[in-house]
Amino acid sequence: MQGPILVFAESAGNEFRKSAFEAVTEARRLADLSKSEVHALSIGHKIRDQASSLGRFGADKVSIADDESLKLYHPDFYRQIALDLVKKIGPSVILLPATSTGKDLGPRLAIHLNTAVATECTELEISENELIATRPAYAGKVLLKVKIKGNPRVATLRPNVFTAKERVPAISPSIESLSFEKPTTKITVKEFVTQGAKKQDLTEAGVIVSGGRGMGGPENYKILEELANVMGGVVGASRASVDAGWRPHSDQVGQTGRTVSPTLYIACGISGAIQHRVGMINSKVIVAINKDPEAPIFGFADYGIVGDVFEVVPALTQEMRKYYGKN
Amino acid sequence: MCVRRVPDTATRIKIALDGKSIVTSDAEFVINPYEEYALEQGVQLKEKHGGEVTVLTLGPEKSTSVILKALALGADKAIHLKSENFPDDSSAVARAIAAELKSVEFDVLLFGKKGVDDDSQQVGQMVAELLGIPCSTQIVKLDISGGKAIAHREVEGGVIVVETTLPSAFTAEKDLTVPRYASLRELVAARKKPILVKEPQLFPGILEIVSIQYPPPRPPGRVLGKGVEAVPILVKVLHEEAKVI
Ligand SMILES: Cc1cc2nc3c(=O)[nH]c(=O)nc-3n(C[C@H](O)[C@H](O)[C@H](O)COP(=O)(O)OP(=O)(O)OC[C@H]3O[C@@H](n4cnc5c(N)ncnc54)[C@H](O)[C@@H]3O)c2cc1C
Ligand SMILES: Nc1ncnc2c1ncn2[C@@H]1O[C@H](COP(=O)(O)O)[C@@H](O)[C@H]1O
């Protein structure tokens, strides 16, 4: 493996995503092992001020493409900027966060570079000068270790699995501005429409309070919102409650929804079907609240309470308020 | 529209003795769930604008059942790129599909967001890049009018609205449409629809599987108690034992 490790440091608005810092931290670890450099690429608008923060996590160099037209992800623009940089610096590895942007962009780069992508990696290692990527397949029922027989090796990293760690001492990276000339394109990116005032996406949340069919109706998710608020988390859902129209699809956890890996996942009125399980089994700690002691979820939750969500959840919210000293 | 044959999501997955492949002999196979949303979208577009829906599958002989299902659900004809041991590799599959599509005329090219077997989420974007057409991934809404497409991509925290020229590719997210069921009559009629069988152009795989393992089991959990009485215990163990709050 020769050449720097290139990281696509994704931003949202004018801040880097947490998963960008995670990817830079992991790139630093790999660069130290392979005695190479970490080169971060940042594409967006008004992010220049933030660029040096990538050095805190271990970037040696940062290249920035900054333009109003780059504010939202545009496949043609982003692809061209990234390919130009790849041609210039000849990386051995390209890491991207496994976000909707990273998973859209990675394969586009790979097919032009005649290489392949290891999707949603949960672990990377270097063995005999080769990158070995661990990635879940069959919805997490198995873990594949794969080698990419192309150059550069492209991998997307599942958010929340790699830990962003600040480096001591921080590096002050050299910062380079990339010139950007809009290529011709058949795509017009019109607008970003936010869904409510959700602070965090499920895939990046540290605490998720999830509700299933046992919540009985859309109005009852209020008690989950309250618990999530107290704990600084967000609300998720099972497919049964999404299909019933109680919650938007973007809240769905599971095989045909989001794959999440929070520190704490609290499943309320969710039975624990295999297709739900595969989306949340990588949570650090799983708590189940269900009135049926035979529910499958108790088979893989770390802690369970057998009881009615309408009694247990409000009591838990109150207890957490006490714990966090909030009223 | 491209469909893939995958093991049913409830199937138990077994690792073969060589530790590098999956035993699928006792698995039940279905149309990849994301393609059901894509197929329904294709059929709805046909119902609205006219035209034809062609399904394309690269896979073994056994993929015929999946093709028939798609034909029963409203597709008009099929192309089966038949190969018993084509590399299970997104870039190779994408190259073979793109090579075939170079001689097929279309306005809209639909994919699923990902195959629920390899979970690789690449083929759609790759095919579009190879053909030089736009591709909007993870879409939850699609409108075609006046020679243009407006698609809603579901991303973190919201939706990105994209407009593209035609021809254009899309990968379907769950909830793009509500898939219909095929009636017995449609299942029978599907057998009369044309299926063009050919060999795919072969491309080498680039991802090499070194090994396959089961994920480590989670340590056994425990039920802390019943009802509200267990709540203080839960907060205590989350803090002292699990150290997550
Ligand atoms: C191809 C495919 C893909 C799928 N993808 C997904 C996916 O991505 N995500 C997903 O979640 N599912 C998915 N499913 C569906 C999955 O199989 C289950 O049907 C679904 O997860 C069930 O949701 P649930 O647990 O909310 O509902 P149920 O299974 O109905 O469980 C409700 C639970 O609530 C409990 N309960 C009821 N009332 C109360 C109360 N008052 N207090 C406490 N507990 C109560 C009950 O005891 C029960 O255990 C998929 C299925 C297929 C076939
Ligand atoms: N062998 C195949 N034949 C036809 N379409 C495929 C095949 N493999 C993948 N696809 C399409 O590409 C999408 C993404 O697949 P993947 O990149 O493998 O996750 C799928 O949802 C299908 O629409």
Q: Do A75 and B135 touch (CB under 8 A)?
A: yes
CB of B164 closer than 8 Å to CB of B137: no
Greater confidence, A127 or B157? A127
CA distance A204 to A75: 23
Greater confidence, A174 or A168? A174
- CB of A254 closer than 6 angstroms to any ligand 1 atom: yes
Residue A216's pLDDT is 97
User: Using alpha carbons only, what angle is made at residue B227 by residues B221 and B231, rounded to the nearest 5 degrees?
Assistant: 65
Which residue's CA is minimally distant from atom 10 of ligand 2? B4
Cβ-count burial of B25 within 10 angstroms (0-12 exposed, 13-18 middle, 19+ buried)? Answer: exposed
Which chain B residues are within 8 Å of A146, Cβ to Cβ?
207-210
| Residue A326: pLDDT band with limits 50, 70, 90 | low
Q: Does A60 touch chain B (CB under 8 A)?
A: no
To the nearest whole angstrom, how far is the Cα of B216 from the nearest Cα of chain A? 9
Structure tokens at B145: 């009018």
- CB of A241 closer than 6 angstroms to any ligand 1 atom: yes
What percent of chain A has pLDDT above 90?
91
Residue B179 predicted with pLDDT over 70: yes
What average pLDDT score do residues B142-158 get?
A: 95
Bridge partners of B168? B108
CA B51 to centroid of chain Cα atoms: 23
What average pLDDT score do residues A312-317 get?
A: 98
Which chain A residues are within 8 Å of B120, Cβ to Cβ?
117, 119, 137
| Residue A327: pLDDT band with limits 50, 70, 90 | very low
Peptide bond into A169 cis (omega under 30): yes
Mutate: best of A303, A309, A322, partner B, most B CBs <10 A? A303
Write out residues 68-87 of B within 8 Å (CB-CB) of A.
none
Hunting for tokens 């049926």 — which residue is that?
A: A292
- pTM surpassing 0.95? no
Distances (CA, A) of B116 to A9, A62, A274, B30, B191: 27, 36, 13, 11, 27
Q: Do A111 and B173 touch (CB under 8 A)?
A: no
Q: Which residue of B has its CA nearest to A243?
A: B175
In sequence order, which ranges of A246-308 are alpha helices (DSSP H)? 274-280
Residue A13's pLDDT is 87
Q: Which residue of B has its CA nearest to A250?
A: B154
Residue B22 predicted with pLDDT over 70: yes
Residue A219 predicted with pLDDT over 60: yes
Beta strand ranges found along A55-186 (DSSP E): 61-66, 93-97, 117-121, 123-127, 130-137, 142-148, 153-157, 174-177
Q: Does B212 touch chain A (CB under 8 A)?
A: yes
Which chain B residues are within 8 Å of A257, Cβ to Cβ?
174
ipTM (interface pTM): 0.94
**Dihedral in degrees, nearest 10, Cα atoms A114, A119, A123, A127:** -20
Distances (CA, A) of B118 to A66, A124, B22, B30: 35, 18, 11, 14
Which residue's CA is minimally distant from atom 19 of ligand 1? A240
CA distance B94 to B204: 11
List, in order, residues 6 or more apart from A271 with CB less than 8 Å away.
A212, A213, A214, A238, A290, A292, A295, A296, A297
For the beta sheet containing A153-157, the strands, ordered from the edge strand earlier in sequence to the opposite edge, are A117-121, A153-157, A93-97, A5-8, A38-44, A61-66, A174-177
Q: What are phi and psi of B237, to 5 degrees?
A: -70, -35
